[in-house]
Amino acid sequence: MPGDPAFERRLGHALGGEELTRTLGPLALTGIGVATIVGTGVFVLTGEAAAEDAGPAVAVSFALAGLAALFVALCYAELASTVPAAGGTYSLAYVVFGPGIGWIVGWCLLFEYLLGAALIAVGWGGYAESALSRAGIDLPDAVSSSAFAGDGGVADVPAALVIAAMAGLVALGARESTRVNLVMTAAKVIALALFAAVGATAITRANYDPFVPAAEGFGEFGLSGILRATGLVFLAYIGFDVIATGAREARRPGRDVPVAVLSALGIATLLYVAVALVLVGLVDYRELGVPDPLSAALAVHPSLGWLETLVNLAAVAGLAAGVLSLMYGMSRIFMQMADDAMLPPALGAVDPRHRAPRRAIGMAASISIVLALFAPLDVLADLISAGTLLAFMTVCAGVVVLRRRRPGLERPFRVPLGPVVPALGIVASLVVFVTLPGQTLLRLAGWILIGLVIYLTYSRRRAAARLAAGEEDAVAGEATPRPGRRP
């Protein structure tokens, strides 16, 4: 309701922060989104989805995922341009639904980002290890995979190194890190475009027959298989949230954020569909259930050996860019939650020289490294899906609620068709959410329960004091100065 004083304070607090420098334009923000969306999804999941779920019709799955993601993208564009805070979906949930819901969303997002960075880093380590092996350098098993990989490993050192390197780039500042990200992402996009264009010349039409293999069970080919593959890649669009975390550093958030969200969606969807169509045309879909399906497909065609090398290099650069983007996003969530007194205030400190939350970056990197080195990532991976879908549903619902509470609030971008598009975004996300394994939902419930204990015993009282103190940096009645804050 418009007269809710607590809502007005939260909104004013979210819109009032100016610790970070507004240096990012639509190109840099688009690069952040594409780096996250076009990663393991295109380099790994295309093959898995074709071999196990949809067959050659995997391209249809990716087109459907792009359509479903459009509903969510439009909602992100409206909310992030209207409330350009640094915490992405966390900030939007905090403002619209209050500290309790905001904490739950932020708590889930943090783990999702941390786990996602660790998983991508492990994938990067695999590609890097293969490249070194081709050069005659073989890493010992003990330092090339974690103890949970089942191949004699102890700790995945390459994964830890790429996380540390990308965190170091993010600590240099948004302008510097996004420039590096843009170069790596551009190289990835060009390589994938070449894969689609050149690979199309070597397609065997017989590989498309049958285009939709007969169903062998629910989710195994047929229509249900197409829908299952749609859910796999739909989850990659968490890149929208990473773009939203950069809203406070956007030069003109009202224009730049919507342009970046919709541009990232368009680029990613075109690449997914084009790569999938060519991939299943190069080789029988049954042979694509491997960790490097693009390389496997090109290896069947000796004349395309040069393209295989290029794609492998693009995978190394592209996965590193994905780690960088997630490190950027999660550091901003840590910072914003600390600014709201949900987490220790020290994590919100902004370095006065580089205008970056270095303590938040260090915390994010440290936890991600531990996860990459020692955690059973295959067991926890589905939690990324749950967190992503929770974020999507929150943003879509937030559009409707904020319009009712503040109909007169300036909205540089408005979702068309009123509540219809947000409702479609919620339905699309909910359909995928309810198909998640029961164990995943139990783990999510356990993680939320842990978060609630922390919120009730630590964060709630401090967050209330922070809001009551207005622009003063008070936590539970005790002022805490934030380095780098402008007077």
- DSSP letter assigned to residue 215: P
Give residue 95's Cα distance to chain centre: 21
pLDDT band at 453 (very low <50, low <70, confident <90, very high): very high
Helix (H) / strand (E) element for 333: namely helix 305-339
CB atoms within 10 A of CB 487: 2
Q: Residue 147: what pLDDT?
A: 59
Topology (CATH level 3) of domain 22-454: Amino acid/polyamine transporter I (1.20.1740)
Backbone angles phi and psi of 326, in degrees to 5: -70, -35
% of residues, the chain, pLDDT over 70: 89
CB atoms within 10 A of CB 171: 21
Stated pTM of the model:
0.84
Q: Which residues contact 480 (CB under 8 A, 6 or more apart)?
A: 345, 473, 474
CA distance 169 to 384: 24
pLDDT band at 153 (very low <50, low <70, confident <90, very high): low
Lowest mean pLDDT among 141-145, 260-264, 326-330: 141-145
CA distance 338 to 485: 13
pLDDT reading at 18 higher than 80:
no
